[in-house]
Amino acid sequence: MSFSRTYSIRITRAFLALSLALLFGTISGRAIYAEDLTRTDFVLGTVCTIRLIDGGNANTLSEAFARLRSIEDHMSANKDGTEIAQINANAGKEPVKVSEDTFYVITKALEYARLTNGAFDPSVGPLVKLWNIGNGGEKVPPEREILAAKALVGWQQVVMDAATRKVFLKKPGMRLDLGAIAKGYAADEVAKILIAHKVKAAVVDLGGNVLVFGSKKDKSPWRVGIQNPESARGEYLGIATGAQMTVVTSGVYERYFIQDGKRYHHILSTETGWPVDNGLVSVSIISKSSIDADALSTSLFILGIEKGMALLKNFPDTYAVFIDKDKKVYLSPGASKVFTLQEKNYHLAEK
């Protein structure tokens, strides 16, 4: 749930998925043409690609990637000198004034913490740092260390002062981590730049957080592949089809390690301090807002199918695709209008 400075399983698969999509037309529904302008770079701890299909120029891409780097430089928990790093370093000491960007994203994350009763929690940083999944050298921590880290997690202990734009963590040792929401915010910010540059159609892929922007010249719908959780080659199990939208997935295949034959993934439970173990392997969100899709994919994964479906009722025109370890696919109400299952080894189930 944090920006990582090293390549992970998710990065590799996201990059492969994008490559396959561009090659076979999975994302855009057509092949890539010579006039398309594409840039790929490593930012936000992942491989990010922006493809301009209709409109825009090299300056558009430069501005978009500069915006992504600015967000990383403000919100990464793993880089020295960022605003999040300053907040964490001053936990229990004093408030830290932050940019409008950072204040907004923390506020939004705390809204999700309230909606999920803490299942989604931006103060999960102590657990993320302890498990260190995706950064190399991972191992299962001693239970006493897990309990100590869990005791430092609590979104109610995050104090926000809108008048001064200052953020304060009440307990020493607390740590914010915006890795489960910041990329969604970044995708929405790129969309604003595309609008300002009068781009008519584009694909934004921030390490698997996909936003398809505008409409294509031929007016055909966008097609976004959703990852097969068992595939090591970026293959998809189904297709989300529609107008401008964002598709964000959280799953056990993104970042993980194996110890004594057991897989430990990076989506951590604030209740137990351990990786979430509820039978789900991935949750994909199809929505208009990428920041909401990002937060919801993690929230619904942690909450599970029943509670996740209940939470989703608060978000109109937002759909979820749940996949469990038995290869059953559960769709939220209305999701069948935009998602088509194609992998024969999986089957639709009703909940």
In Å, the largest CA–CA distance within the chain is 59
Nearest to 88 by CA among 5, 173, 147, 24: 173
pLDDT digits (tens, 9 = 90+) for 233-252: 568 899 999 999 999 999 99
Quickly count: other Cβ atoms within 10 Å of residue 190's Cβ: 26
248 lies in some domain: no
Q: How many domains, in total, are found in the chain?
A: 1
Considering only CA atoms, give the Rg of the chain.
19
106 lies in some domain: yes
280 lies in some domain: no
218 lies in some domain: no
Question: What is the pLDDT at residue 2?
Answer: 52
Token duo for residue 268:
């951590």
Question: What is the pLDDT at residue 4?
Answer: 42
121 has pLDDT over 80: yes
226 lies in some domain: no
317 lies in some domain: no
Question: What is the pLDDT at residue 232?
Answer: 59
80 band by pLDDT with thresholds 50, 70 and 90: very high
142 lies in some domain: yes
Q: Does 294 appear as a known binding residue? A: yes
Question: What is the pLDDT at residue 117?
Answer: 97
pTM of the predicted model as reported, rounded to 2 decimal places: 0.90
Q: Does 180 appear as a known binding residue? A: yes
Q: Does 298 appear as a known binding residue? A: yes
Interatomic CA distance for residues 166 and 100, integer angstroms: 10
35 has pLDDT over 70: no
167 in helix, strand or coil?
strand
For 284-303, what is the mean pLDDT? 98
Here the CATH number for the domain that contains residue 128 is: 1.10.3980.10
Backbone angles phi, psi at 18, to 5 degrees: -65, -40
Backbone angles phi, psi at 121, to 5 degrees: -150, 115
12 has pLDDT over 50: no
Query: Do the Cβ atoms of 302 and 269 come closer than 8 Å?
Result: yes
Question: What is the pLDDT at residue 19?
Answer: 39
Least-confidence region, from 36-45, 207-216, 231-240: 231-240
204 band by pLDDT with thresholds 50, 70 and 90: very high
Interatomic CA distance for residues 38 and 61, integer angstroms: 8
260 lies in some domain: no
Domain that includes residue 117, residue range: 78-169
Token duo for residue 2:
């944090």
Buried b / exposed e across 330-341, counting CB within 10 Å, b at 16+? bbbeebeebbeb
